């Protein structure tokens, strides 16, 4: 356990027993800025959770990025835990929930995260829902292979999210 860990008399979200260790520190993350990194750990059941929360709030942002060729998949994506993501041509809107995270990836990673959700949902689907899921997966592969364009919209009320094309990063 880290020397800056603090014992906190709260119930563990996993085992409901009292007493977890909490660490918190300020860190600087490229593209995001200063963040608070908080980790909780239950020594009884081993539950661990880490969260990174940006400190600075900015003006809300509305981003539209069009994926037309495979090279566009390399654009850097910063998505805050408060951002809504829309894949226009797929008719998909992803709204943030309580488990939403801030992360840095690339456009392909953002799309693949959605594909992972589809894979997790697929076993419980049938009929039209299953057909829609399979159609979305086919279309995602078309986007990845450059055969179909996709407009990605990110609406972030905290202004942290960004899509940074490779040519502006280099």
Q: Is 0.85 surpassed by the pTM of this model?
A: no
- What pLDDT shows up at residue 32? 79
Six-digit token string for 11? 């119930």
Residue 101's pLDDT is 83
d(CA 88, CA 63): 12
CATH assignment of 61-169, given 3.40.50.720, 2.60.120.1040, 1.10.10.10, 3.90.1150.10?
Answer: 2.60.120.1040
State phi, psi for 98 to the nearest 5 degrees.
Answer: -65, -25
For the chain, residues classed under CATH 2.20.25.420 are 6-54
Q: How many CB atoms lie within 10 A of CB 95?
A: 10
One DSSP character per residue, 26-75 reads EEEETTTEEEEEEEEE-TTT--EEEEEEES-----EEEEEEE-SGGGGGS
**Residue-level pLDDT at 21:** 85
25 - beta bridge partners? 37
Where in the chain is CATH 2.60.120.1040? Answer: 61-169
Q: How far is 144 from 140, CA to CA, in rounded Å?
A: 6
Q: What is the pLDDT along the chain (170 residues), one digit of tens a residue?
A: 445 556 677 788 889 998 788 888 888 888 778 888 888 889 889 998 877 778 877 899 999 999 999 999 999 999 988 999 999 999 999 999 887 888 889 999 999 999 999 999 999 989 999 999 999 999 999 999 999 999 999 999 989 899 999 877 55
Question: 125 by DSSP, 3-state: which?
Answer: coil
| CATH class given for the domain over 6-54 | mainly beta
């Amino acid at each position: 356990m880290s020397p800056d860990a603090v014992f906190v008399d709260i119930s563990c979200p996993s085992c409901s027993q009292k007493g977890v260790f909490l660490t918190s520190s300020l860190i600087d993350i490229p593209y995001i800025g200063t963040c608070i990194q908080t980790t909780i750990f239950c020594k009884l059941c081993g539950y661990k959770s880490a969260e990174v929360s940006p400190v600075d709030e900015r003006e809300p942002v509305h981003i539209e990025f069009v994926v037309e060729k495979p090279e566009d998949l390399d654009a850097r994506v910063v998505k805050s835990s408060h951002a809504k993501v829309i894949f226009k041509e797929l008719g998909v809107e992803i709204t943030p929930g309580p488990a939403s995270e801030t992360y840095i990836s690339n456009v392909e990673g953002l799309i693949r995260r959605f594909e992972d959700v589809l894979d997790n949902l697929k076993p419980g689907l049938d009929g039209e829902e299953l057909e829609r899921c399979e159609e979305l997966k086919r279309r995602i592969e078309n986007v990845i292979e450059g055969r179909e364009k996709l407009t990605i919209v990110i609406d972030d009320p905290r202004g942290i999210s960004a899509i940074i094309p490779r040519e502006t990063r280099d």
